[in-house]
Amino acid sequence: MEAIYTELKETLKAQDPDKFGELTQKALDAGAEPFDLLNKIVGYAKELTSKSWWAGGTEGVSNVSESEALLLSDLIVIGECLVKSTSILKPLLLAGAKKAELPGKIVLGTIEGDVHDIGKSLVSTMYESAGYVINDIGLDVPAKNFAIEAKRSKADIVGISCSMSMCKTSMPKVVKELQKLGIRDNVKVVAGGQSTFETDVPTYGLDGWGADMVDAVKKTDELMRVLKEERLKKGVK
């Protein structure tokens, strides 16, 4: 199995999406657990992309040399590798999803003005494999649509993906739209993505923030727990 993992890592580095998909299947055939395999693959991707062009230190210079730095083009193809892999893993993850202790419905989308997809899709897969019911409303979603979908589907959580700083100003609009529809008290709002920080939670009136896809699920579990307690106190189901 170790040999396959090594080959996966090398193939990701070589940026070959088709071969990466084949190796994902090979690892599964050799007995890899889908959840562990996804975690490994994401770990490799994180390690690799830490050498991105924009990885600056406090000295104002990159930690990586030009020859080893990854450009956007590299990141795009690495993203394609992940897409190939998750398309194979997702059905297995869902089939084996444990029944969540805190089952919840999540409306998940990328905020208006932003068309980044990879992070949201990965988080979506993680949520689903953790037992959540996902209503993925796509990319470039207006604030109003988050609220409308949350009300329509009686969601517990609204998940906002945001990777561009200028689009962050739309995050508090989601909160306002939830207020307008009178469902703010019954929904928790969690955000994540390249341009978001933990400090955005109080600034934008959110309830939680996920540093990465694993943290997003962890924070969402906590928020679900809080939400259930609040509902219990209010006598609401």
Cα(195)–Cα(206) distance, rounded to whole angstroms?
A: 15
58 or 235, CB closer to another protein? 58
Sorted by sequence, the CB contacts under 8 Å of residue 132 that are 6+ apart come out as 100, 103, 104, 105, 106, 157, 220
Q: Which is nearer to another protein, 3 or 61 (CB)?
A: 61
* CA angle at 18 for the pair 134 and 30, rounded to the nearest 5°: 80
Nearer to another protein by C-beta: 69 or 214? 69
Amino acid letter at 59? E
Does 73 interact with another protein (rule: CB under 8 A)? yes
Q: Please tell me the distance from the alpha carbon of residue 43 to that of residue 82, in angstroms, as a whole number.
A: 11
Q: Does 167 bind another protein (CB under 8 A)?
A: yes
- Comparing CB distances to another protein, the nearer of 22 and 74 is 74
Number of residues in contact with another protein under rule CB under 8 A: 37
Considering beta carbons, is residue 6 or 179 the nearer one to another protein?
A: 179
- 120 lies in the site for another protein, by CB under 8 A: no
For the CA atoms of the chain, what is the radius of gyration?
19
Structural tokens at position 181: 């529809």
Binding of another protein by 169 (CB under 8 A): yes
Residues 6 or more apart whose Cβ sits within 8 Å of residue 186: 156, 227, 231, 236
- Which of 6, 50, 87, 165 forms a contact with another protein (CB under 8 A)? 165
Q: Is 18 in the site for another protein (CB under 8 A)?
A: no
In whole angstroms, how close is the CB of 80 to another protein at the nearest point?
Answer: 8
Q: Is 14 in the site for another protein (CB under 8 A)?
A: no
When the beta carbons of 141 and 157 are compared against another protein, the nearer one is 141
| Nearest CA-CA partner of 135 in 15, 148, 8 | 148
Binding-site ranges for another protein (CB under 8 A): 53-54, 56-62, 64-66, 69, 71-74, 76-77, 80, 112-113, 115, 140, 163-170, 172, 194-195, 203-204
